[in-house]
Structure 1
Amino acid sequence: MRERRPQRRHGLDHHDPGVAGYDPAANRQRTSVPSLPRKNAPFVLNPDSGSAAVYQDEWVNHLRTLFGSAGAGGVGFYAIDNEPMLWSQTHRDVHPARVGYDELARTYLQYAAAVKSVDPTAQLLGPESCCWTDYWDSELDRGTDNFATQPDRNAHGGMPLIPWFLDAARQHDAATGTRSLDVLTVHFYPEARGVATDTSNPDIDALRMRATRALWDPTYVDESWIKQPVNLIPRLKSWVAAEYPGTRVGITEYNMGGGDSPSAGLAEAEALGIFGREGVYIATYWTAPKPGSPAWFAFRMYRNADGKQGTFGSQSVRATSSASDTVSVFASKGSGYVDLILINKDLQAAHNLTVGLGKVSAVGPVQRFQYSDANSSAIVRLADTSASASLTLEVPRASITLLRVPVAH
């Protein structure tokens, strides 16, 4: 039986005054064209550039006309705006008012319905929340006491913001018969000082490695002002299970930092492995890894290590490490191969490993590819090794190693 949830209330759905004495109307007119969810009139493919407004359903129709529907290979995903709890800061000139629970849900649902009305096969992402605080509270909760009294949250049954948002979408969709939220999406940047920057030194690099545990580990106490387990992916999944089962989970901005240091590539490889193992549906690096950088090579180790578009498999396989803080392992199954990624996070020393293949029966030599700070400008194809029940190998310091084990189809 589903637990009864507090009824959604709308007691604080007012216009926050924003910046005292500031009326954004003039700046809105000077810098922006109103963006409305629906045109309520026939679409045109090339609207007049002098139009008084733009309509998002017309824009989706333009994309569908050019590329086909999402289900036929067209634009597959639509994020309903970005980091709404920061609008009063990042877009203060045109939206100085702080966003609350009700404005978030109302705006999302209006625009989501507009997209689905034109392309029902599209997948919608939201609420695109920025940060740890925004998972729990609205910007109205900041008030003048920095979230101490949480008036908006209390006006909505005391529910944290993201669970409430999920429940709002579920109630709306139950009434309309159309799913408005396909993927619950948030952003993640490690909050520990210096990690999500280009800074690299022994202390920050080690902290960067540990910070990946915030994505999945309920025992890891975040080494930042948060000072409690983030446990991000399991937490999001538990909220989904409680409030809107069937919704997928995505992390649509993340960056583990590190710039051009080896730690950047190692942390990125770790994050990609975690996303696959934990069942994250979509994850997008912000902004994009610089070509030739360690993070760029981390992507290549999963997506094109052999230079022939050979990719890490799409089916996650259970794999464990007896010393995961030092060398982690991720495994997958694809077409004709079981792939293992071994990440030596030790920036100082190589390690000798024994890799047990368990029930995996190899039908040929194991291919080996490696990226390390010994040659930071290329992925090296190592000599194949004979297959057996277990493999013995050395992984150099600060390295990512891919083992491709051929198996029968």
Structure 2
Amino acid sequence: MTRQRRVAIAILFAALPLSVGAWIGGKASANGPVRIAIDAGADRHAISPLIYGSSFASPEAARDLKLALDRSGGNSASLYDWRTEARGAGRDWFFESLPIAADDAAQYGARFVVEAKAGGAEPIVTVPMTGWAATLAADGGKRAAFSVARYGPQAAVDRAGLPDAGNGVRPDGRPITGNDPHDAAHPVPITDTRAWIRGLVARFGPAAQGGIRYYAMDNETTRWHDIHRDVLPVGLHAREQLQRTIAYARMVKSVDPTARIMAPEAWGWGEYRYSGFDQQWGDAKGYDALPDRTSQTGGMDLLPWLLTGWRAAGFPVDVVSVHFYPQGGEFRGDGHDDVSSAMQALRNRSTRLLWDRSYRDTNWIADTVALIPRLRDWVSTYYRAGTPVAITEYDWGAAQHMNGATAQADVLGIFGREGLAMAARWMTPPTGSPAYLAMKLFRNADGRGAGFGETSVATRAPDPDTVAAFGALRASDGALTVVAINKTMADAKAVSLTLARFAAHGRVTGMRVIDGRLVPLPPSRFAGGTLDVQLPAQSITLFEMHPDDR
């Protein structure tokens, strides 16, 4: 059967009453329909549009996805040089300092702001705090931090780009130490960074007048000793991180008091708990007796301790921002994400890490993460209740597979339901990929701006590992919108949506992502406060329910 015919049949089944679809679907209704309860009058709260964000989005993708947020970040941001438009790739690419061409996807300064605004998104500009910036060669070209000519043979070199650039590791596996950090970088005082911020504000205006609203305080600072060990070989102490964040946050606000500061941009669970110095120590000697945890944070996890220090400093941080990637191999970042049956099942359930206080991570974290409520609890206890929390890097992988698409849709639904303030996926999925279409379904499903609503309402699904659902009211037309996600790999699911405190009768329209395509649903109706449908395997459906009296 062709893919087009499978899609057409799936769309037809979605409009059939359950009594008809059940005998055709076979396995879908063997145990009865999945009953999803929606109460349009309960748990109402606004969904922040800023959860629909990405990193380094092209203007075209930002407009198509209606992205509200675009972040310039990543490891190269830590050694960005605004005067020469250079970046330090660090361990990600042979510790090279590289020129940033005008047409490079990853931009960090004024060109990034221009592109983000051209796409209609609020830019997040990352402010380097390392005290170092990339130095280019005399001709403006690449420069090596671990030159083979200077430091000898290395385990790997950049044969296709700069053969003299090594990976900083000797052929026998020992890291090269004692290198000169000035080989491919130069010191940068905070006054120089202030000049950069002043230039940005002079060009774009202050935040209160449409300029740059968000500034992130560097990127994953507790990994500098790993990613940028050519200039910072010793892990950052907890007190150093606290003091740098306060100093740079105050510097930005001295230039633009209306700007909003985001920190700590922590890489994940390890940085939530331990300083860079302690991570370096723990990796080498074990985590039983960590120096900073003993002598600096008083036994506290790093992030709550930082919040306490920022509170004492007068609340210099406006948005508490972290990064999070599931740690079971769901995301690999090399273009070859695992889509085995076992990994698909893990990807289906590991989105619980974002919200479920009873779900224990099955990998090295080995704890209950419940990230969004955990962050909110930390902020309320150690900082200031109501401070926005953000996840400014995340990815569940498999962007080119429907399993990655269902995970992406689930994540966006969770962000809205749980009241997250801001989010940015790490890089925009390839245009037209299943994960890209999953994002589009929420914001611009029909290509004319219609999508998921702006006011979250109570929506209960019995087993979100197989069928997840999210409901929201849409202000523009009064529709109740429901995103229903069938995560299962092979089985269609008979679903019964019951609607409380909403109209009893009306028409149904919508869109569906299935088999890597975004397709419209044929018009149908709901009656008696119920909508009975079938969800094809590995599909994401946006139902738009319009009352008859509107």
Scaled by the length of structure 2, the TM-score of the pair is 0.64
2:441 is paired with a residue whose SS is helix
Any unmatched runs of 5+ in structure 1?
Answer: 1-18, 39-54, 174-178
Residue number in structure 1 paired with 2:328: 192
Most deviating of 143-152 and 397-406: 143-152
Residue number in structure 2 paired with 1:7: none
Give 1:328's aligned amino acid.
A
Correspondence list, 1:137-176, <5 A: 137-142=274-279, 143=281, 144-155=284-295, 156-173=297-314
Residue number in structure 2 paired with 1:267: 407
1:184 is paired with a residue whose SS is strand
Structure 2 CA distance, aligned partners of 1:190 and 1:268?
Answer: 13
Residue number in structure 2 paired with 1:345: 487
Shift of 1:405: 2.2
2:460 is paired with a residue whose SS is coil
Choose from 366, 387, 390 the match for 2:508: 366
Give 2:185's aligned amino acid.
S
Structure 2 CA distance, aligned partners of 1:276 and 1:200?
Answer: 27
Choose from 344, 355, 372 the match for 1:216: 355
Shift of 1:22: 4.7
Choose from 204, 210, 219 the match for 1:73: 210
Residue number in structure 1 paired with 2:184: 31
Provide Cα deviations, 1:231-286, integer angstroms capped at 9, x if missing partner: 11111111111011232111111110124111110100011111111111111111
Choose from 312, 321, 346 the match for 2:461: 321
Give 1:163's aligned amino acid.
P
Shift of 1:194: 4.9
Shift of 1:131: 1.9
Structure 2 CA distance, aligned partners of 1:71 and 1:380?
Answer: 40
Correspondence list, 1:68-107, <5 A: 68-107=205-244
Give 1:391's aligned amino acid.
L
Structure 2 CA distance, aligned partners of 1:315 and 1:220?
Answer: 27
Most deviating of 392-401 and 134-143: 134-143
Relative CO higher for 1 or 2, CA cutoff 8 Å, sep ≥ 6? 2
Give 1:333's aligned amino acid.
L
Within the alignment, does 1:258 sit opposite 2:395 as a pair?
no
Residue number in structure 1 paired with 2:470: 330
Give 1:264's aligned amino acid.
G
Q: Does structure 1 retain, via aligned residues, the 8 Å contact 2:504–2:530?
A: no
Q: Does structure 1 retain, via aligned residues, the 8 Å contact 2:496–2:532?
A: yes
Choose from 355, 378, 384 the match for 2:497: 355
Residue number in structure 2 paired with 1:182: 318
Shift of 1:23: 5.0
Give 2:253's aligned amino acid.
K
Residue number in structure 2 paired with 1:278: 418
Q: Does structure 2 retain, via aligned residues, the 8 Å contact 1:266–1:343?
A: yes
Structure 1 CA distance, aligned partners of 2:275 and 2:450?
Answer: 44
Change (3 A) 1:405 1:120: farther
Q: Does structure 2 retain, via aligned residues, the 8 Å contact 1:190–1:196?
A: no
Shift of 1:203: 0.7
Scaled by the length of structure 1, the TM-score of the pair is 0.85
Q: Does structure 1 retain, via aligned residues, the 8 Å contact 2:488–2:537?
A: yes
Structure 2 CA distance, aligned partners of 1:141 and 1:69?
Answer: 38
2:424 is paired with a residue whose SS is strand
1:128 is paired with a residue whose SS is strand
Change (3 A) 1:73 1:261: same
Any unmatched runs of 5+ in structure 2?
Answer: 1-173
Choose from 118, 121, 127 the match for 2:255: 118
Residue number in structure 1 paired with 2:451: 311
Structure 1 CA distance, aligned partners of 2:534 and 2:345?
Answer: 21
Structure 2 CA distance, aligned partners of 1:311 and 1:64?
Answer: 34
Change (3 A) 1:291 1:317: same
Structure 2 CA distance, aligned partners of 1:367 and 1:73?
Answer: 37
2:522 is paired with a residue whose SS is strand
Report the aligned-residue RMSD: 2.0
Structure 1 CA distance, aligned partners of 2:181 and 2:277?
Answer: 23
Q: Paired residues, what number?
A: 365
Residue number in structure 1 paired with 2:163: none
Q: Does structure 1 retain, via aligned residues, the 8 Å contact 2:399–2:429?
A: no
Q: Does structure 1 retain, via aligned residues, the 8 Å contact 2:329–2:338?
A: no
Q: Does structure 1 retain, via aligned residues, the 8 Å contact 2:261–2:318?
A: yes
Give 1:295's aligned amino acid.
A
Structure 1 CA distance, aligned partners of 2:234 and 2:371?
Answer: 29
Shift of 1:304: 0.7
Structure 1 CA distance, aligned partners of 2:353 and 2:434?
Answer: 21
Change (3 A) 1:405 1:71: farther
Choose from 520, 529, 533 the match for 1:393: 533
Shift of 1:363: 7.8
Provide Cα deviations, 1:318-346, integer angstroms capped at 9, x if missing partner: 11112322111111223122211000011
Choose from 515, 521, 530 the match for 1:382: 521
Q: Does structure 2 retain, via aligned residues, the 8 Å contact 1:253–1:283?
A: yes
Among all aligned residue pairs of Structure 1 and Structure 2, give the percentage whose two residues are the same amino acid. 36
Shift of 1:196: 4.2
Structure 1 CA distance, aligned partners of 2:470 and 2:397?
Answer: 21
